[in-house]
Amino acid sequence: MINLKNNFLLSCTLLLSFVCAKAQNKEKIIDRVIAVVGANPLLQSELESQYQQMVASPEGVNENTKCKLMEELLYQKLLLAQAQKDSLNVSEGQIDQELDRRLHYYIQQFGSEDRFVAFYGKSVDDFKADLRDNVRDLLLSQQMQSKITADINVTPNDVKTYFNSIPPDSVPLINSEVEVGQIVKKPVITADAKKEAKDKITKIRERIMKGEASFAALAALYSEDPGSANKGGLYEHIQRGQFVPEWDAQAFKIKPKELSEVFETVYGYFIIQLVERRGDEVDARSLLITPKVEPQDLLIAKMSLDTIFTKLATDTTNFNDMAAKYSNDEESKNSGGLIVNPQTGASRWQIDELGQWDQNVAFAIDKLKIGEYTKPIPFQTKDGKQAYRILYLKARLAPHKANLKDDYQKLQAIALSKKQEKAIQVWIKKKLAGTYVHITDDYKNCAYTNKWVN
């Protein structure tokens, strides 16, 4: 059966597949086509690289692993064939975003880009070029799968029915989880700091206008945007709506080679130079100068939280109310201060998930008892600014067997996944009836869930 829950094929990292194949003593493997679905060939190297991932994974492999992976890959090719038939498409910007996301994750595992490049002997840009077509196919397959399951949902009665159908000895075990809240205080950016930043970027703009230096050179020297400074400020394949509205307004207004006026965003002051526009997609150079936070302003933010901490410690108020009233973090303040797990959309975190998201939070709450708060502690916000926060441990759940009261959201997700899997099996059966599929003899004897072999 196709494993829709965190589907291995569709959620696997193509980068790791690629480098696993490359890392096998750097020997060249003679490749061959082992299957064709529609007009899409499946290569031996695709299967082998997936298999090497499984060998290195905690699950390990057994005598059925290759056949299971083969079926996952055949399913991807069937999705891709239908996506092509339905004229689905993904933009170059979407492909770039996915490549950047995947490469960023694996570079983090190495500790630096230099170590990554040194280990594999290939630049990041070369990796992107090699993986581009594979990522395009992956995104098309994901889009097709989303189209199949888009209208499927479950009711509370469906969830209850599913839970009651689980044999007692098969009820899933839920690992230890926590719920954590925060109240964030960012220092106020003073008028003087804003003026200083705006004056600086205005002078940079004047130098570009006078031809004293190129935008790329000055962006490399002065821009405080970590996403583009090392590329001379260049962003490519940016979709409308991908960046903040103020950036979009300028990028889709100016003409090629034209320089924008200085404009302000939540990140600071920008100037943009348009390189090329293609409908709702642009290539542009971007330069950012952020207002500096003065030490005394950071201290004022901490002192403000000190007062809130005192109120919380004497139980004169409610954490949720204080978070809603005083926190500067828009996401958590709207959920009563609770930090939402972006992977699940719920407020519960397994400890390892929380550590991966923010190790400092996991460390800070480790010794807290339920209902306790940390004193104000410094941290860096997502946009790179210094701030302080109070962390609150709302709940710590011991490992337990799932139940409807405590684990409804998890059970709802599983029930939905099961229902989606059934819909996909129906879809596969229907599409196989009208799609050309050829599998080489050495893979025809697998015990496939679906009828890939006639």
**Average confidence (pLDDT) over 255-277:** 94
Pinpoint the residues of the chain covered by CATH 1.10.4030.10.
8-154+412-443
Greater confidence (239 vs 150) lies with: 150
Least confident of 2-11, 56-65, 99-108, 251-260: 2-11
Least confident of 2-6, 327-331, 340-344: 2-6
pTM (predicted TM-score): 0.64
| Distance set, CA 219 to CA 202, 207, 215, 253, 449 (Å) | 13, 12, 6, 21, 55
| Per-residue pLDDT, 18 | 47
Name every residue whose Cβ is closer than 8 Å to that of residue 362 and which is 6 or more positions away in sequence. Answer: 351, 354, 355
Q: What are 53's strand-pairing partners?
A: none
The per-residue pLDDT for range 332-374, each reduced to its tens digit, is 988 889 999 988 888 999 988 898 888 899 999 998 999 999 9
Q: Which CATH topology does 191-289 take? A: Chitinase A; domain 3 (3.10.50)
| Per-residue pLDDT, 2 | 54
Helix intervals (H) in 327-367: 330-333, 351-357, 359-365
- The residue written with tokens 């190129």 in the block is 214
Closest CA to 219 of 211, 230, 203, 235: 230
Region 176-187+294-398: CATH code = 3.10.50.40
Name every residue whose Cβ is closer than 8 Å to that of residue 379 and which is 6 or more positions away in sequence. Answer: 360, 386, 387, 388, 389
Q: How confident is the model at residue 250 (pLDDT cuts 50, 70, 90)?
A: very high
Tell me the three state secondary structure of residue 250: helix
The per-residue pLDDT for range 71-85, each reduced to its tens digit, is 999 999 999 999 999
Pinpoint the residues of the chain covered by CATH 3.10.50.40.
176-187+294-398, 191-289
**Average confidence (pLDDT) over 431-443:** 94
| Per-residue pLDDT, 1 | 53
* Neighbour count for residue 299 (Cβ, 10 Å): 12
The whole-angstrom separation of Cα 352 and Cα 160 is 29
- Residues 388/377, Cβ–Cβ less than 8 Å: yes
- The second-level CATH assignment, the architecture, of 8-154+412-443 is Orthogonal Bundle (1.10)
| Per-residue pLDDT, 363 | 93
Tell me the three state secondary structure of residue 378: strand
